[in-house]
Structure 1
Amino acid sequence: MTWEPRPVPDVTPETAPFWEGAADGRFLLCECEDCGLVYYYPRLVCPDCLSGDVGWIEAAGTGDLYSYTVTDRAPGWPEEALPLIYAYVELDEGPRVITDIVDCDPTDLEIGQRVEVRFVPTDDEAIAIPVFAPVES
């Protein structure tokens, strides 16, 4: 199943490396060369020290479930993709990302649970959507 008919992000020059990485199965983060902050969502200037000396690093793609909510209704969302589990995941590298949790029963989720990234293809080969799923133990 592909991501559509759900919205696909607009790719900008500053986010293009992130989406290219996702299409290749890699979750990329930005890292400030001056203060060392690792951050997400991609931007050309460090949100902490405002340095423009930033680069890309590949994240492990794992983290902890920080918070989540579940909904059984979402206008425009494919019925087969419900319930929708909308979550904050705290990556092992530090940043928190807003994402979907997939491939699990919402009643089995616990705060602090380990999760790992998965990539959902879209009709555009240059874009894949990162989502997270519980780590199989």
Structure 2
Amino acid sequence: MAADVRTAPVPTPLTEPYWDAARRGELVLQQCADCARFTHPPAEWCRFCGSERRGFAPVSGVGVVETFSVVHRTFAPGFAGRVPYVIAWVGLDEQPGLRMFGNVLGVPADDVHMGQRVELVFEEIDGFGTVPNFQPAGKERSCGSE
């Protein structure tokens, strides 16, 4: 049986700035140079004003669990040893409607709930670097899949 190795993200020219920042332990999201709204995931143009002038800017990674799923059975490489785990849709504080997916780490799956405040935490993936995830706000910083 093959080792339970997690598949690393495959950056594209559009997502490379996001993944480069993540490997440095920073969360940046695409921001429109014209209307200043954030877009995630990155897009070829601003979904608010249509501008093609975009860059990337740091965000806090603090927000609220808007919805989530507890995965009890997975076929995703590198996640079999983690079940049950939580994948959450997190609304970030920077702007209404700005959301991103991530795992909620550091607590049992039963302790995650909608409306829960979470904050950014980075998880190491062998051969890639770190990827952004979340943990309950105020919890001592962790790294990994506890």
Task: Name the TM tier (shorter chain).
Answer: 0.7 to 0.9
Per the alignment, residue 88 of structure 1 pairs with 89
Question: In structure 2, how many angstroms separate the alpha carbons of the residues matched to 1:78 and 1:58?
Answer: 28
Q: Greater RCO between the two (CA within 8 Å, min separation 6)?
A: 1
Q: Report Cα offsets for 1:44-76 as digits up to 9, x if no partner.
A: 321222211112110111111111111211124
> What TM-score, normalized by structure 1, do the two folds share?
0.86
Tell me what 2:143 maps to.
none
SS in 2 for 1:68: strand
Task: Work out whether 1:106 is the aligned partner of 2:105.
Answer: no
Deviation of residue 35 (structure 1)? 2.1
One-letter amino acid matched to 1:136:
G
CA distance in 1, matches of 2:52, 2:85: 37
TM (normalized to structure 2)?
0.82
Paired with 1:33 and 1:130, the residues of 2 have a C-alpha distance of 24
Change (3 A) 1:48 1:72: same
Alpha carbons 2:7, 2:78 under 8 Å: kept: no
1:13 aligns with 2:13: yes
Aligned length: 133
Q: In the TM superposition, what whole-angstrom CA distance separates every residue of 1:77-119 from its partner, at most 9, and x where no partner exists?
A: 4443111211100011131111111111122222111111111
The residue type equivalent to 2:108 in the other structure is D
Q: Distance in 1 between matches of 2:79 and 2:113?
A: 25
After alignment, is 33-42 or 69-78 more displaced? 69-78
Identity, in percent, stands at 30
Once residues 79 and 55 of structure 1 are traced to their aligned partners in structure 2, the CA distance between those partners, rounded to angstroms, is 36
Q: Equivalences for 1:1-137 in 2 at 5 Å?
A: 5-75=5-75, 76-94=77-95, 95-125=98-128, 127-136=129-138
